[in-house]
Each structure stands twice: as structure tokens, then as C-alpha cells.
Copies of this chain bind each other. A is one copy, B any other.
Amino acid sequence: MSCWGGSSRPTSRPDLAYSDWSGVAHGCTRKLGMKICGFLQKNNNVDDKSRIVRFFNDQQPRSILTRDNERDPRFRRTETDFSNLYARDLLPAKNGEEYTMQFLLEVVDILTNYVRKTFDRSTKVLDFHHPHQLLEGMEGFSLELCDQPESLEQILVDCRDTLKYGVRTGHPRFFNQLSSGLDIIGLAGEWLTSTANTNMFTYEIAPVFVLMEQLTLKKMREIIGWPNGEGDGIFSPGGAISNMYSVMVARYKHYPEVKIKGMTAAPRLVLFTSEHSHYSIKKASAVLGFGTENLIFTSDFYCACYLVKWFCCVSAVQGFVPVFVNATAGSTVYGAFDPINEIADICEKYSMWLHVDGAWGGGLLMSRKHRHKLNGIERANSVTWNPHKMMGVPLQCSAILVREKGLLQGCNSMCAGYLFQPDKQYDVTYDTGDKAIQCGRHVDIFKFWLMWKSKGTIGFEKHIDRCLELSEYLYHKIKNREGYEMVFEGKPQHTNVCFWYIPPSLRLLPDGEEKRQRLHRVAPKIKAMMMECGTTMVGYQPQGDKVNFFRMVISNPAVTRSDIDFLIDEIERLGQDL
């Protein structure tokens, strides 16, 4: 059997103090043949070896976990030689407690250094390597798994290197995804969650987390505007699954017999969504057995009205039954908001389920200034809302909220006897696991609950207002700037600012296919250079007949105007000669 072969690679690395500053410049010049990244002022990894934890003492940072022999002799001997220690020496091993604490503190030291440097703008956002480079193995860091154990020293090296070759999604200049930032309270919440290492299916083994989930979901429903926060909901592994829940629950509401008899028991069900909606609605229609051709994409609201009416009229004749409309609150690329009230009117008229996909835009409900963009959301039958996006909660944290109580349970319950015993000593209505399509379910609530406690509702509001202000700043900065063209008219509704950067060499070209083709290649080239240099990251994509453009989004509280300025400078620096 292949897994019992020999292991021969070295398990320790002689020198951790390599500098990757030289690698940066080298990478940039070697790989791209241009641009020395001289604006990076500091070595990215220079602190990795010193492993200090600083304490706030006399205004002077101080190392108390140092291995420096000049320190108080009491602390000299705290150095543990991990090269002869293995996982088997840690708890539950006999006398493993001290080694366990030492090891965990070493890990924490690596992590706190990482956190510190993530917020330091002189640190690179990433240290890019191609897949084949990482697969071949970097110095002292191999991804291969072996039969024999590696020493804890090597494990610590592996931890450092995993972070080193990764991407700092919390960096103030990481703008690549809708989820960015590194909230310290959320991080602490995740560390605690991992330490508690439990599962959401029953109150029995997650009493506090189950209650936190219930209270938080109720709060979210109140904010949506459902009377007294009544209704139901669950945290799911991401917005795509939350959206899938909405389609499932809508189907169950209209055709409960599908649960038992399958889709053949229902007529041909039709779903509607806008062409700018998230692709997870299409995924759900494939997964759940509707078929993607029964999901109708509408180009705008009037088109939607027309199509819904058409389908409703022909349904008696051709067997089509429109059941579900998805309204997007904050589209992925443009950050656009569908007119929920108008869509709700149609849904009410034709008895269709209204789902609001607020995975990205739901956070705006926390802002008195911006929540009007979701007016009508209280009329939705279900809502997806991802606190891990606009609210800065660590990944993952996504809620599906349902206005009518009991549907989630009815739709999904299978009453497994080994989990959901009716004869427990406590009120078993708190065993909420049977509402889920999952059995075991990760605890996604604690970090969010803890952040809410620590910021208050007003803290989330401030964060959201600030991010929207910053995107407005970017919009005003580039809308009339030479070399920029906006992808859509008017101020962005969310933090999404979509634009083309047009290098000088293209500016005088006549409009036409050649210019389009060349412009299409600009964003990928600039993005590639950004990544090789490690200075910043921002997304790009084509959309419909529009060639590749940048999509800037802001959800990280660490971002300032200077970072927006930096991004624009960087695009121009890297793109001016294209």
C-alpha cells in the first residue's frame, strides 16, 4: 500500500533567518522583466526569528518571551528544544502539560507576529509563488506527507512557512474579495471556538452556542423588520448554501410532497433571478433538481415583470409554475440593489416566494444611512445575510433567515434517533440540528456574537458607513481622472467601484475591436504584477460584453484614504507602459 513507503526528506531547516526582501525584487525583475518594487521599506520576515511578545511597559516595547540570554536569568531557561519533541509528547501524554503550553505559546507567538505585520503597510500582501514552485518544495518547507512524524520544531517551521507563502487577507491593501480584514475580537472568537471544538446539532453539547445562535438570528430578523423578530433561521457554511436553503424551503412551502415523492411530483417549477445575481442561485437550481434551464435570468426589473407575467399566464397551458424570485441586495460585481418592494408586489400577486440575497448587501441593514437601499426586505420570505462579508466577521459566517416558522424543520427534518432523542431532561426544542441539511455543523456563531457584544450595533453601523464613504472617495477620485473610465454610471450603491484603467498607449486608439482586445488584457497584466510584487490585490473580471475591468471593494476596517491612493498610484505605476 502506497501510504507505507519510506520517508527520507530532512525534517529541520538550518536557518530560519532568510530574507525575502531580496526575493521580492528578484521575483519582480526575473518574472516580469520590469519594475523594481522599491517602495517596500521593510523585510517581510525579519521578525520571524526573534519571536518576541511585546508588553506595554514604560512606553517601551519589551520582549518577555525572548530567548536572549541578556534577560533576567529566570527566563533564560524558558527555551524549549522542540527538535527532540513530537506530537506524542504533548497532552494527553503523561507530563505533557508543560510541553503543550510551551508549544501553544510558540504558535501564538508566530500568530501574533503575523497579526502585527498584517496591519503594517510595509509588509507585503503576499509572497507570490507558482503552484509548481510550492509543490517542488521551498527551502525547509515541503507539503508532502510522510509515514513518520516530524519534530515539533519542524511543525513550527511549517506554521511559519504556511503563513509566509499565503495571502494576508487582513492587510489594509488587500481588496481582492468581498471578505477582507482581520477583526481582532472575531479572531479571538475563532480561537475560542476551535478550543471548544464542538458541534451545533444539539443543545446537549453546545448549550451556549445554540442559544447565542437563536438570539443573534432573532436580532437579525428584528433588523430585517419581521414583527418581533419572529421566524426562523440557521447559520450555514456560506452564502451559496444559504441561497440553496431558500430555494429548498420555497419548494417545500409550495410542494411539500417533493420531499417524499421527488421533483416528479411537482409541475415544471420556474425560478427567476437577475443576470447580475450570484451564480449560487444557478447552482441551487442544478443541485436541487430544478435544472438550470428553469432558472430565468432577467436583464432588468421590467423584463422580470414581463417574464413573470408571461410564465404565470402560460403555466396553465404548458405546465410551467413560477415559484421563486431572487432579488439581489448588493450584487457581487456592481454592488447593485434590486428594487425589493416592486419585486415583492409581483411575488404577492402571483403567490411566489421572494428571497433576498443580501449576502453582500445585508450588512447595510445595520446603517441608518444606507438601509433604505434594502427597503421592502421585510416583505421577503427569506433572506441570506453574510456577516463574514460587509460586517467583517471572520470566515465563515452566513445566515439564512426565513419568515415563516417551521418550514426549515419541516423541509429538512429526518428525526435521527441517536441525536434527537425526545426523552432528554431539557427542552428539546433547542436541539435545532434537524433543521439543517448538515448533520455536524461548525460553530460559526461565537465570533459574530462576540464582535456584536464588543462593538454594539453602533459599531457595525460606523464600520459600514466608513467603508461606503471610502468607496465614494475612490469614485470621486477617478471618475474624471485621465486614463480611467467607469463601468457603470453614477455613484455606487455599495462599496463596489468598477473601472477600466486605460494605459497611455491605448488612450489615443480609436474605439473598436483592437482597443477592446488590448484593454481586455490590461487588468490581468496589472493584477499579475501586483501579485508578483506583493503590494496590493484587487479583483477584475469581464461582465457580459464588457472587457476585463477592475472591481474595487472595501470591507476592511483597516483601509484608509491613503490605501486607496496607493492602489491608484500602483495601478498607474504598473500599467503606464502597457
- The interface centre, meaning the residue of A86, A237, A240, A542 with most chain B CB atoms within 10 A of its CB, is A237
Q: Which 4 A-B pairs have the closest CB atoms?
A: A289-B289, A262-B291, A190-B194, A92-B558
Chain B residues within 8 Å of A87, by CB: 184-185, 451, 454-455, 459
What string of 1s and 0s marks CB contacts (under 8 Å) between A409-432 and chain B?
A: 001101011100101111100100
Instruction: Indicate which residue in B101, B103, B208 contacts A162 across the interface (CB closer than 8 Å).
Output: B208
What string of 1s and 0s marks CB contacts (under 8 Å) between A78-90 and chain B?
A: 1010000011101
Chain B residues within 8 Å of A78, by CB: 55-57, 64
Flag whether A545 is at the interface (Cβ < 8 A): no
**Contact A131:B219 (CB < 8 A) given known A1-B225, A262-B291:** no
Q: Measured between alpha carbons, how far is A425 from B32 in the docked complex, in Å? A: 11
A-B contact pairs, 10 of them (CB 8 A): A64-B78, A88-B459, A92-B119, A148-B458, A154-B453, A159-B450, A182-B195, A197-B394, A263-B263, A423-B524
Instruction: Indicate which residue in B115, B395, B437, B442 contacts A440 across the interface (CB closer than 8 Å).
Output: B395
Flag whether A261 is at the interface (Cβ < 8 A): yes
**Which residue in chain B gives the minimum CB-CB distance to A104?**
B112
Flag whether A30 is at the interface (Cβ < 8 A): no
Chain B residues within 8 Å of A309, by CB: none
What string of 1s and 0s marks CB contacts (under 8 Å) between A362-394 and chain B?
A: 000010100000000000000000001000001
Q: Measured between alpha carbons, how far is A477 from B373 in the docked complex, in Å? A: 66
Chain B residues within 8 Å of A421, by CB: 524, 540-541, 548
Which segment of A209-217, A299-307, A336-344, A482-490 sits at the interface?
A209-217
Chain A, range 172-210, C-beta contacts under 8 Å to B: 172, 176-177, 179, 182, 184-185, 187-188, 190-199, 203-209
Q: Measured between alpha carbons, how far is A401 from B63 in the docked complex, in Å? A: 47
Flag whether A286 is at the interface (Cβ < 8 A): yes
Interface pair A239/B440, CB less than 8 Å apart: yes
Interface pair B72/A57, CB less than 8 Å apart: no
Flag whether A494 is at the interface (Cβ < 8 A): no
- The interface centre, meaning the residue of A110, A177, A239 with most chain B CB atoms within 10 A of its CB, is A177
Interface pair B291/A426, CB less than 8 Å apart: no
- The interface centre, meaning the residue of A55, A144, A184, A521 with most chain B CB atoms within 10 A of its CB, is A184
